[in-house]
A and B are shown apart, each in its own frame.
Chain A
Amino acid sequence: MAKLRVGVVSPEREIWSGEADMVIAKTVDGEIGIMPRHTPMLGVLVEGGVLTVKRGGGEPDLVAAVHGGFLSVADDEVSILAEVAELGSEVDVARAKNALDRAQASVEANMEAADAAALKRARARLRAAGEEVG
């Protein structure tokens, strides 16, 4: 079966690139799974989403927290343009939990959009690291 060529890039660096069987991401319309021979598309990713790249062949899945950005698919090439992205394996769980607690506290204290975004981001980071988040 054909494989997807996947690239995850942020403005500061290329985060990951390689081949995969399937890419799962969350656009503003909902979750979407991309497999080889998908029709060309461009989607807007949600703030604080989790991206899963199923690499197949016994390789572990790649999970990353993606905060905003785009997903573009053309000719079996998938590129994820993230404003900020973190690989699940690089997430510092203790720090992210800490950030989540702080964000939650400040969201409850004053309903500000910036805090809500921080909350979403912390959640996504934890999910990418494979932690259970309520």
Chain B
Amino acid sequence: MGAQLRLLRRRIKSVKSTAKITRAQELIASSRIVKAQQRMQAAVPYEREITRAVSGVVSNTASADHPLTTAKEQPRRAAVLIVTSDRGFCGGFNANILREAEALGGLLRSRGIEPVPYVVGRKGITWHSFRGREMGGQWGGFSDNPSYGDAKEIADALIAAFSADDGIDEIHIVSTEFVSMLTQEVAVKRILPLAVVETAEKPETPLPYFEFEPTAAEVLDSLLPRYVESRIFSTLLQSAASEHAARRRAMKSATDNANELIRVFTMQMNQARQAEITQEISEIVGGANALADAAAGKE
């Protein structure tokens, strides 16, 4: 067997085993997207209710002077929560987020604010530690299946840093939003100081006048941290769903690519084999002719 033939056989074998791996990853990711989407859906009612409650309190209390809602006049440091994934194999997912985070860092610096990264996901953590950047906080190990406890942990750390005297004056989130199975977008949001997000549909009636138990201030005190937690939780869930979607897409194109390579290599291999056979035949025919000629010459 010719050297070229052997080489091609070996490459086809290796590409085939790669394709098997990427195909398996693709299938795993597609089955997890559905689950991640269901979790996103399940979290919607709580977020909707808590947003309504917060807007109810804020619109009712004229003096909503809560540390979490008031912007500092001279912000000096801002926390940037960067939500990445724990594993690779998901195309440009992490690169897009980190690029956007860098851009936000530059923007903040131009306004005279020092950005402090708080990183979720091992990919983002290694990215920062490789560059020797100091992180305000880091969390990893749950990016593909976050629980509310994880969100609470992050929120607690951020709120503590925000409430500290010489701590942080603003909190931004850079994460991927799950728009649909095919579209995920990197989004930059400011979560603190709090600007209560209006829900998509305007309430048809003005918000009613609420009674508070025990008092408006105390309700706000315990409501706002929960609201921040819920925002972070929904961010984590969206990021998880986006990660799976990105992985599925990346693995699908890897599998397609591998199959295309196998096709090309198989063709080349067949050509090489055919060439070898043709050569052998022509050698035999040539040899036979030469023998026949020699025999004819003797007579």
Interface residue ranges, A against B (CB under 8 Å): 7, 9-14, 27-29, 32, 39-44, 69-70, 72, 74-75, 79, 81, 83
Contacts and interface: CB of A to CB of B under 8 A. Distances in A.
Interface bin, chain B:
20 to 34
Interface of B: 39, 42-43, 45-47, 49-50, 52-53, 56-57, 147-148, 151, 205, 207-214, 218-219, 222-223, 226, 229-230, 233
B115 to A, nearest CB: 28
A27 to B, nearest CB: 5
Q: Is the interface of B mostly helix, strand, loop or mixed?
A: helix
A72 B47 CA distance: 13
Contacts of A43: 212-213, 219
Contacts of B49: 7, 9, 72, 79, 81
Nearest to B39: A12
A74 B214 CA distance: 17
Given A27-B213, A29-B213, A42-B212, A12 B50 contact: no
Contacts of B57: 42
Nearest to A27: B213
B50 A81 contact: yes
A42 B53 contact: yes
Contact of A28 (B45, B50, B214): B214
Contacts of B207: 74
A44 B213 contact: yes
Given A32-B213, A42-B56, A42-B210, A9 B222 contact: no
